[in-house]
Amino acid sequence: MSSRDTGELHIVVLAAGKGTRMRSARPKVLHEIGGRSMLSHCLDTARVLSPASIRVVIGHQGEAVRASVAETDIEWIWQDEQKGTGHAVSLGIDGLDASDGARVLVLYADVPLLEADTLHRLIQDPVAVALLTVRMDQPHGYGRIIRDASGAVLRIVEQKDASDTEKQVQEVNTGILMARFADLKRWLGSLDSGNAQGELYLTDVVEMASGEGKPVRAVVADDVWSVTGINDRLALGRLERVYQSRQAERLAFSGTTLADLHRIDIRGSLTCGQDVQIDVGCVFEGEVRLGDNVRVGPHCVLRDCEVADGSTVEAFSYLEGATLARGNHVGPYARLRPGTCLDAGAKVGNFVEIKASRIGPGSKVNHLSYVGDSQVGTDCNLGAGTITCNYDGANKHRTILGDRVFVGSSSQLVAPVTVGDDATIGAGSTITRDVSQGALVIARSRQVERSDWRRPQKKTD
């Protein structure tokens, strides 16, 4: 059959449940895996299938759930009272503008690791109903897949309705299912709640399909984690680790050296060039790009950063919104805040904070400094304890240093201030006025020596 015969695809995502076991003020589906909500994982996977529509059924804290999604390609359906998965899906397809041959795919918003490839396998053939199932050693709590002697799927029986023999079945319903729109509409219309939970079970459509002699196909997922739903924070924590180790494996496979595959966290996207080395305990957030031969020492945090070829970030550094050129050396214990740009070969050492500043090629800020709202030229040296006083209590001001400027240790540059090329600032100076090119300035009190002075003596009586 051609794709036209199989009809367009509509996706209904179930997200109305309460998530009591999370014990959280936050809606369950907004808890995060890899720094993104479970719902956002689910929607991204849904979008890969290029569906004609995506509808999300919301209920508990629905406003918050809706507000978490910025994209406008979603239709939100309210389910005020949760009367079961069958009820949720019937609301989900109510008034849907679909052809009779259309297919409806039901997803759960609390199953974040499901991959589009698995869904492609589920939706590829035009059958009446396709179910995603999985085998579990401990199937307790799940709906069991009941097959006949020939292996054909007959129905799904929920844990609470299952007989002792049925409870032995280890193949379970993941909840993810595809059905033809026209059939589904008809079947959902005749569901009843005569079961142990008094709910409208979506799963009952399977028995209706097999009763009509319609083909029901079960696709068995080969990985339990990818179909695991999250109900509590234990599952949340476990799936987070699975998600992280998958990303670590992907990185390692594509040529990045990780000191420990189990000690890296990527909450966003990390792109690495060739021969990148990442030590233990690093956290990458947002979008981070590392060039060739970049080395990141242990326990660093990089958020929305770009690090060019051959640069090194040493242990315990915290970089946010920073751009590093080639051959930079940063840390240990450096803090680079948004708007930091290091030009080629620049060095930033321990206990240095830099914000909204450009550090020119080959320049060094090696120890205990704060550089904010500044522009530092080529080959400058900022001595230990250099502070740019960029804030007057009301406004921020800029500090501009030319090329080859030498700033002696423990100096303050009170902005706005400009220092010319080749100028030298004596250690311990407080610079409040512009400094001319090539000049030496010393702005500290003179040293006084008194050889007639005696230390006070402790009184004795």
Q: Which residues bind ligand UD1 (CB under 6 A)?
A: 14-17, 57, 79, 82-85, 87-88, 108-110, 142-143, 156, 158, 172-175, 201-203, 229
H or E segment and range at residue 382: strand 381-382
C-alpha 415/C-alpha 432 separation (Å) is 7
Closest to ligand UD1 by CB, 57 vs 376, is: 57
DSSP state of 441: E
Is 367 labeled as catalytic in the residue annotation? yes
CB of 50 to ligand UD1, least distance (A): 23
> With the C-alpha atoms ordered 162, 168, 172, 178, is the resulting torsion angle positive or negative?
negative
CB of 248 to ligand UD1, least distance (A): 27
CB of 204 to ligand UD1, least distance (A): 8
Residue 72, classified by CB atoms within 10 Å of its CB into exposed (0-12), middle (13-18) or buried (19+), is exposed
Nearest alpha-carbon partner for 316 in 268, 341, 349: 349
CB of 42 to ligand UD1, least distance (A): 10
> With the C-alpha atoms ordered 439, 440, 444, 448, is the resulting torsion angle positive or negative?
negative
Closest to ligand UD1 by CB, 113 vs 371, is: 113
Q: 3-state class of 236 per DSSP? A: helix
Residue 113 token pair: 């690791």
C-alpha 165/C-alpha 340 separation (Å) is 65
CB of 358 to ligand UD1, least distance (A): 49
CB of 243 to ligand UD1, least distance (A): 18
Closest to ligand UD1 by CB, 139 vs 310, is: 139
Closest to ligand UD1 by CB, 42 vs 423, is: 42
CB of 64 to ligand UD1, least distance (A): 14
Catalytic: which of 299, 329, 367, 397?
Answer: 367
Nearest alpha-carbon partner for 18 in 56, 62, 54: 62
Closest to ligand UD1 by CB, 201 vs 284, is: 201
Describe the strand order of the beta sheet including 312-313 as a list of residue ranges: 257-258, 277-278, 295-296, 312-313, 329-330, 347-350, 364-367, 381-382, 406-407, 424-425, 440-441
Closest to ligand UD1 by CB, 110 vs 309, is: 110
Closest to ligand UD1 by CB, 29 vs 123, is: 29
- String of b and e for 90-103 (b: at least 16 CB within 10 Å)? bbbbeebebeeebb
Cα separations (Å) of 168 from 141, 145, 146, 156, 410? 12, 11, 11, 13, 75
The neighbour count for residue 440, using CB atoms within 10 Å, is 11
- Residue 325 has φ and ψ, to the nearest 5°, of -85, -165
Active-site residues, by number, are 367
